[in-house]
Amino acid sequence: MDLKHVAVRLMKPGNDDELVSFGDEVKPVDSPRKHFEPHIRCTFKSLFGSVRPRRDLRSNHTDRAQFEPGRRAVLCGIAHLVPPFPPMAGRLSNDIFVTGPDNRLIIINVTANMVFEQFYLGCLAHASYLIGDGESHRAVVVDPQRDVEQYLSFAEQHDLRIEYVVLTHLHADFLAGHLELRDRTGAVICLGAEAKAEYPFKGLADGDSIDLGRVRLQALATPGHTPESISLLVFDRDRSDTHPHAVLTGDTLFVGDVGRPDLRVALGWSATSLANRLYDSLQTKLLPLPDDSLVYPAHGAGSLCGKALGNEMFSTIGEQRRWNYALQPMTRDAFVDLVTADQPDAPAYFTHDAVLNAKERPTLEESLATGLTPLTLDQLLERQREGALILDTREPADFAAAHLAGSQNIGLGGQYATWAGTILSPQRPIVIIAEPGREQESAIRLGRIGFDNVVGYLQDGLRSLESRPDLTASIERLSPAIAAERLQAQDSPQLIDVRTPREYAEKHIRGSVNVPLNHLADRVKELAADRPLLIHCAGGYRSSIAASLLSQRGFDRVSELAGGVASWETAGLPLEAGQQER
């Protein structure tokens, strides 16, 4: 293909606002530079799998752009030539390259067939994928979130039919959208061959393939995180029939970590047994893959499915072989000890979701149709008397200023779903109080973790309480200076730090008692009943959850440190390090 038939828009070095064009410019569909800037340390060859490593290339900048029609060209990278070479143009593998200003080498990959899109849900640190063949117009979605409109919209925009939906395993941290996509598109659900489920599915054994045409996915049985876990090799036949372009590793291999083997203990599996299977999966299935095969996991930093996940959303086998702590040379026993130790506490909802992902259950659309019912204040109070929990999803500062007495705050601005799954019960009815217009978002994000127990929301939000000041309450938020002054007073409050033990050990306020938020409900008897309580966390999000929980439990003198440890430190007040004494 001649360069004049390829449309590419590039950022000029040193000027992010100026674009330089090569060939006939076409309107870009998307240009997600922000996703790749954290990966500049990687070579552009590793990032995009388009050029095999060469010693005469040095990575300078990476970017990608997708273009209409048919995703004809993808910018794979810009590099400086070392040493300088005269202007030239030619081919390298399936790529066109040309030198530009300042001896930059521009690599353009002509990808007429394979469509590969990553969707990332930050609040659950969850990555899902749509892979398609532009020639056959067939596509597969891997590990979808429960609200599936984005996959349907993307498929329509790119003239693709979603024919398969694959779960790399029965996820514990979110409720997948496999049933939703099946019902909307007729897609065939695929699970690992060892899986058991109530709904019909195609079992993928080791070596089984999903053939889309010029794009092929091949299953690797990679048990360990769960017994039924699989990974998916992605072959772009325009490049190679045998050399995998990428591997979707689910929760078996992350960037910087591997999947934890202890999440099936509640269902009768031994963490040690699964850790042994994980060792075999990594050593015999994933590590033998080519170094330049891209690694696309199901989770990123912030997920509780591992203990040291990196911020990057993808990597390569070579990068992980070199840098991932769990892939370094070690004995089987050492590996088992390593991956079964120091894992973060798993929220109670994980087992609930792992079981629910194997069941035939109502779709999210069906759940919202019955749950998103507007309620008057009197109807809400009746629900509350019947045992419903009132969930206020506004931001902590707004909740502290005024809220319905007895309500629980978990703000939409933080890890809302994860903390809801940690603090709340999926069986207890929930009524939502939200900023007007955000009621549906509040319910959808609960639905993503399988909490379909929303029975309504307060119409007009907190404005409904304007005529009933007797029903409102507030929580005092103290500045660091005032908090420090009160801690020195005769009637000083008990200072409660609801961060994790690791955070506490790194730095904490002298005299504080560490009661992690996920254990607070079970440890309320350890708190002083005859003293005020001053709650704090890192920045004020978790402390609001804790303060509202304690207020529900009858503690009537609860306040918060506004801005948490961060504001205390900024104010120049002293901190110390070390574990809490037992």
pLDDT by residue (tens digit) across 274-300? 999 999 999 999 999 999 999 999 999
Catalytic status, residue 537: yes
Give the integer Cα–Cα distance in Å for 476 and 559.
Answer: 5
In 134-214 the beta strands, taken as DSSP E runs, fall at: 138-142, 161-166, 188-192, 202-204, 209-211
What is the model's pLDDT at position 42? 24
Q: Give residue for tokens 């409102």.
A: 472
Identify whether the C-beta of residue 117 lies closer than 8 Å to the C-beta of residue 234: no
β-bridge partners, 20: 10
Q: Out of 117-131, 296-310, 437-451, 491-505, which region has the weakest mean confidence (pLDDT)?
A: 296-310
- For the four alpha carbons of 228, 268, 259 and 540, in that order, the dihedral sign comes to positive
**Would 362-473 and 476-570 be classified into the same CATH topology?**
yes
Fold of 114-352: Metallo-beta-lactamase; Chain A (3.60.15)
Local confidence band at 59 (pLDDT 50, 70, 90 cut-offs):
very low
Distance (Å, whole) CA 327 – CA 339: 11
pLDDT tens digits along 147-180: 999 999 999 988 999 999 999 999 999 999 999 9
The reported pLDDT for the residue numbered 344 is 82
Residues 6+ apart with CB under 8 A from 177: 144, 145, 146, 147, 148, 151, 165, 364
What is the identity of the amino acid at 556? D
Which of 76, 190, 305, 537 is labelled catalytic?
Answer: 537
- Alpha carbon distance 270, 262 (integer Å): 7
Q: What are the residues facing 118 on neighbouring strands?
A: 129
| CA distances for 225 relative to 85, 178, 195, 303, 340, angstroms | 49, 20, 13, 14, 11
- The pLDDT score that the predictor gives to residue 581 is 63
More confident residue, 457 or 82: 457
Q: Looking at the whole model, is its pTM more than 0.85? A: no
pLDDT in tens, 387-429: 999 999 999 999 999 999 999 999 999 999 999 999 999 999 9
CA dihedral 144, 148, 150, 151 (to 10 degrees): 60
Alpha helix (H) ranges present in 248-391?
271-281, 317-323, 332-340, 349-356, 364-371, 377-385
d(CA 370, CA 455): 7
Query: Are the C-beta atoms of residues 528 and 499 closer than 8 Å to each other?
Result: no
Tokens of 445: 């994000």
Percent share of the chain, pLDDT over 90? 70
Mean local confidence (pLDDT), 104-126: 71
Domain residue extents for the chain: 3-110, 114-352, 362-473, 476-570
Of the candidate CATH numbers 3.40.250.10, 1.20.140.10, 1.20.20.10, 3.40.50.150, the domain formed by 476-570 belongs to: 3.40.250.10
**Spatial distance between the Cα atoms of 204 and 207, rounded to a whole number of angstroms:** 8
- Range with lowest mean pLDDT among 84-93, 217-226, 514-523: 84-93
Other C-beta atoms closer than 10 Å to the C-beta of 262 total: 18
Please answer whether residues 164 and 220 qualify as being in contact, where contact means their C-beta atoms are separated by less than 8 angstroms: no
1.20.1740.10, 3.30.1490.190, 3.40.250.10, 3.40.190.10: which CATH number matches 362-473?
3.40.250.10
Confidence of residue 304 (pLDDT cuts 50, 70, 90): confident
Bridge partners (DSSP) listed for residue 403: 473
